[in-house]
Amino acid sequence: MSDPAAPVSLQVEGLRSGYHGVTVLKGLDFAVGDEIFAVLGANGAGKSTLLATLARLIPLMAGAIRFQGEDVSRLPPYETAGRGVGYVPQEKGTFPDLTVLENLRIGGMIGRRSRDDRMAEVFELFPDLRALQAQPAGTLSGGESRMVACGRALMQDPKVLLLDEPTAGLSPLYVDMFFEKIREIHETRGVAIVLAEQNATKTLQVADRVMVLSLGEAFAVMDAAELTTQQLKEGYRI
């Protein structure tokens, strides 16, 4: 589990954002340290909007995002990526016409360590990708494509990894594997993870803390182990 005294990697204050003038996130405040920080909520709660905003793909309407103490609220996505924020979107996480190896190399354009060393680490984490290196990403299964998208983000040597519903639409076998890999990435690479997920049961098994989003507002922010089924139902408005 994470050290609660560890320095904060990501701090969000009064965050408001949305699309085309429509506010989706309505003033969020939270901080992420050296931990797996889960974001749960029903469809439409704002999970994907939050991660895309943190990745700087959606402009802020109000509030601030600080990464390692510096305000990154107005930075373009490539600058936040270069500083150490990795992002794996829910869909279209690969370049379909490029091979697996080419996808990973694109991620490796960011980062200072040897690209070969980082590639070896990705293949160690996702051994199945080694045999698929020459295959176009667009021909992969859902689970294989998710591995490539995650591997490409890890090639950037991120300090914080934003994962938007990485197990959505996957078979139970891939779901179990991905939750194991999420824990492994955090524990072995020292990467803080912000995990948006629909699968509350599996997520609470790996998360240190959790924020339950309800219609763009934080219904609860607390230790994952302390979240009750009743609180989860209320947050999901069940």
Q: At what angle do helices 115-125 and 172-189 cross, to 10 degrees?
A: 140
Residue 171: pLDDT over 70: yes
Mean pLDDT of 62-90: 96
d(CA 114, CA 100): 19
Q: Is 178 left (phi over 0), alpha (psi -120 to 50) or beta?
A: alpha
Q: What is the pLDDT of residues 24-54, one digit of tens each?
A: 999 999 999 999 999 999 999 999 999 999 9
Structural contact between residues 164 and 191, judged by C-beta atoms closer than 8 angstroms:
no
Better-predicted residue by pLDDT, 8 or 115 = 115
pLDDT at 118: 97
Q: What is the pLDDT of residues 136-170, one digit of tens each?
A: 999 999 999 999 999 999 999 999 999 999 999 99
d(CA 122, CA 129): 8
Residue 7: pLDDT over 80: no
Residue 84: pLDDT over 50: yes
CA-only gyration radius of the chain, Å: 17
Beta bridge partners of residue 10, listed in sequence order: 32, 67
Mean pLDDT of 51-73: 97
Mean pLDDT for the chain? 94
Element (H, E) at 224: none
Mean pLDDT of 209-232: 97
Give the type of residue at 80. Answer: T
Set out the domains of the chain in order of their start, with CATH numbers.
10-236 (3.40.50.300)
DSSP 87-114: EE-SS--S-TTSBHHHHHHHHTTS-SS-
pLDDT at 238: 58
d(CA 69, CA 207): 23
Confidence of residue 6 (pLDDT cuts 50, 70, 90): low
Structural contact between residues 192 and 159, judged by C-beta atoms closer than 8 angstroms:
yes
Q: What is the pLDDT of residues 88-115, one digit of tens each?
A: 999 878 999 999 999 999 999 998 899 9
